[in-house]
């Protein structure tokens, strides 16, 4: 089963995704796409995410080759998050089709976390607009193959249904 968990900054999407992974009953591997950097605030956010994970969960930090990791990991995977994966890519260019092929080829459950950028203001810079477009299109592609799509707002979860 593929579940896409969308939400804005501080919406609670990662916590919802972690609860879903814990409920799977299988060993959990967290695939983290954020790369540590010199930004103290971002480093603190990464540390907070690490601190919330159960000690028996495996963690793979991979800011680029997410598809390769998905192809070799068994059990439940919690992929957190598409936004940082795209932000790490040159020109925000990722292969969403290859990602979906890898997601669809897994035998275990996969919970994918992503930022919902479509509810924010129009980005004032060309780079901001390019990122929002790339992430929005990737979210749509992943949603099209997902069994469930959840939107998290203020810690509350809404299930989104196909049109």
Query: What's the pLDDT at 9?
Result: 85
- Determine the average pLDDT of the residues in 122-129: 92
The residues near 155 (Cβ < 8 Å, ≥ 6 apart) are 11, 12, 15
**133 backbone dihedrals φ, ψ, rounded to 5°:** -65, -45
Active-site hit among 49, 64, 122, 161:
49
49 is catalytic: yes
Query: What's the pLDDT at 163?
Result: 74
Convert the pLDDT of each residue in 90-115 to its tens digit: 999 999 999 999 999 999 999 999 99
- Determine the average pLDDT of the residues in 10-17: 93
Query: What's the pLDDT at 40?
Result: 81
Q: Which two tokens stand for residue 146?
A: 């997902």
Query: What's the pLDDT at 81?
Result: 96
Residue keyed to tokens 């799509």: 149
Q: Whats the size of the chain, residue-wise?
A: 163
User: Which of 154 and 39 is assigned the larger pLDDT?
Assistant: 154
Distance, in Å, from the CA atom of 106 to the CA atom of 103, rounded to the nearest integer, reads 6
Q: Which two tokens stand for residue 41?
A: 């605030």
Q: Which two tokens stand for residue 92?
A: 């925000």
The CATH homologous superfamily of the domain defined by 2-160: P-loop containing nucleotide triphosphate hydrolases (3.40.50.300)
Convert the pLDDT of each residue in 24-82 to its tens digit: 999 999 999 987 777 888 777 777 777 788 899 999 999 999 999 999 999 999 999 99
Query: What's the pLDDT at 44?
Result: 79
Q: Which of 150, 104, 157, 142 is nearest to 5 (CA)?
A: 150
Residue 119 pLDDT > 90, yes or no?
Answer: no
Contact of 150 with 3, CB cutoff 8 Å:
yes
Residue 120 pLDDT > 90, yes or no?
Answer: no
Q: Which two tokens stand for residue 54?
A: 């159960």
């Amino acid at each position: 089963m593929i579940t896409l968990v969308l939400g804005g900054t501080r919406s609670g999407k990662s916590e919802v995704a972690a609860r879903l992974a814990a409920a799977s009953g299988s060993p959990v591997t967290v695939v983290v796409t954020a790369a540590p950097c010199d930004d103290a605030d971002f480093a603190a956010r990464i540390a907070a995410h690490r601190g919330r994970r159960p000690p028996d969960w495996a963690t793979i930090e991979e800011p680029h080759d997410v598809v390769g990791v998905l192809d070799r990991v068994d059990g439940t995977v919690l992929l957190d998050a598409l936004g940082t994966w795209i932000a790490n890519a040159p020109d925000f260019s990722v292969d969403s089709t290859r990602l979906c092929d890898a997601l669809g080829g897994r035998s275990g459950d996969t919970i994918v976390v992503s930022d919902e950028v479509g509810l924010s203001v129009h980005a004032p810079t060309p780079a901001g607009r390019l990122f929002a477009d790339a992430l929005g299109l990737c979210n749509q592609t992943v949603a099209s193959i997902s069994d469930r799509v959840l939107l998290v707002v203020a810690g509350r979860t809404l299930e989104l249904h196909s049109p």
